Copies of this chain bind each other. A is one copy, B any other.
Amino acid sequence: MPNTTVLLVTEESLAGFIATALIATGMSQSDADRISRLMAEADAIGSDGHGVFRLDQYVRRIQAGGINTHPNIRIAQERTAMAVLDGDNGMGHLVMSRATDLAITKAKKSGIAWVGARFSNHAGPASLYARMPLAHNMIGLYVAVGSANHLPPWGGTEMLLSTNPIAIAIPSKSMPPIVLDMATTVAAYGKVKTKAQRGEAMPEGWMIDRHGKPLTDATRADEGFLLPIGGPKGYGLALMFGLLAGTLNGAAFGNDVVDFNADDTSITNTGHFIVALDIAAFTDVNSFKSEVDDIWSTMKSSSLLPGFDEIRLPGERLAKVATQRRTNGIPIHGTLQTVLNRLAKELNILPLT
């Protein structure tokens, strides 16, 4: 019988549980703290497929030797306004928070900075990193090569591309920041995994099978592939993002991408990049933020097409979910509870409560 209870946990207790689990795999307290805070934040902001949901997989990969728990993350290439980090096969969260810190520091001087990474790993939701520059009155732009190929080139059947997501975060004055976080496919593969774990069907249009027919059973996801947004356009974006976040950084792209859902040991050599733009270099920060507020209300108050009941801004749902979950708790669904309880037993740590 499936477990249908929903456990509500605080972001702090969730982060604490994750950190304890990571420390049990041999990671240092400080690295475990940094990663666990980002993973719990992913759940707090509603990225259900990219937070604690991934913990079991991360631990399995660490235990199989597929992730370096004591990486020497270093700058491999550098100029004034750019760098490429070598993540030494560490957790993606460590590599990309370091990359983002570096981009912010460089952007303060140069006005803008672009920091890529290679030999990184899955780093959670794209919006985590795009949102980091906001606190410095900067705009963030993040792109990653996805950690498994589920997308063929347009018109093809070989899965040579991933969902290669983009996130862009722009601060406002009195409204939540505008945060776009999207896969270049109609649905991200994390959403497919969540559907499968919850035993829910996928809507038509997310995936097709190898004969081009719609695929809606999420548990059969490995029999088909994702569809790109706008057909050839989404394929084009996924391809370009892969070349920029992967190939340009010396990271995996195309045939070289390791399916980290199926393989726990091969080095993934995941690539990402983050761009930070210092708003003060372009214009007055306060005026800019006010104008973003104006754009927000112009969109929000504009008239509706029949069948719609509101216009949403990118990031609006994120902000609402975050407020709601930070007040009432983060829901952990039954199937995930079962997984985390088993994991706690295996690692000999206290279960999540």
A residues sitting closer than 8 Å to B (CB atoms) are: 77-82, 84, 109-114, 116, 139, 152-158, 160, 168, 170, 178, 180, 182, 186, 211-212, 229-230, 232-234, 236-237, 239-240, 242-244, 247-250, 253-255, 277-279, 281-283, 288, 291-292, 294-295, 298-299, 302-308, 310-314
B80 touches A291 (CB 8 A): no
Task: Kindly list chain B residues whose C-beta atoms are within 8 Å of the C-beta of A253.
Answer: 295
A212 / chain B contacts, CB cutoff of 8 Å: 305-307
Q: Using known A-B contacts A110-B82, A139-B248, A211-B306, determine if residue A160 contacts B277 with beta carbons closer than 8 Å.
A: no
Min C-beta distance of A158 to chain B, whole Å: 4
Contact partner, A239, options B156, B180, B277, Cβ 8 Å: B180
Contact check: which of B82, B170, B302 meets A160 at CB < 8 Å? B302
Q: Which residues of B contact A249 (CB under 8 A)?
A: 282-283
Smallest Cβ-Cβ distance to A83: which chain B residue: B111
Could you say which residues of chain B place their CB within 8 Å of the CB of A310? 155
Chain B contacts of A229 at CB under 8 A?
229-230, 233-234
A80 with B110: in contact, given A178-B243, A233-B229, A243-B170 (CB under 8 Å)?
yes
A244 to B277, CA, bound (A): 10
Known: A81-B112, A180-B240, A248-B279. 20 other contacts (CB 8 A): A77-B282, A81-B110, A81-B113, A112-B112, A114-B277, A139-B244, A154-B311, A155-B305, A155-B308, A156-B303, A156-B311, A158-B303, A160-B302, A170-B240, A180-B237, A182-B233, A182-B236, A182-B237, A211-B306, A248-B277
> Closest CB of chain B to A176's CB: distance in Å?
14
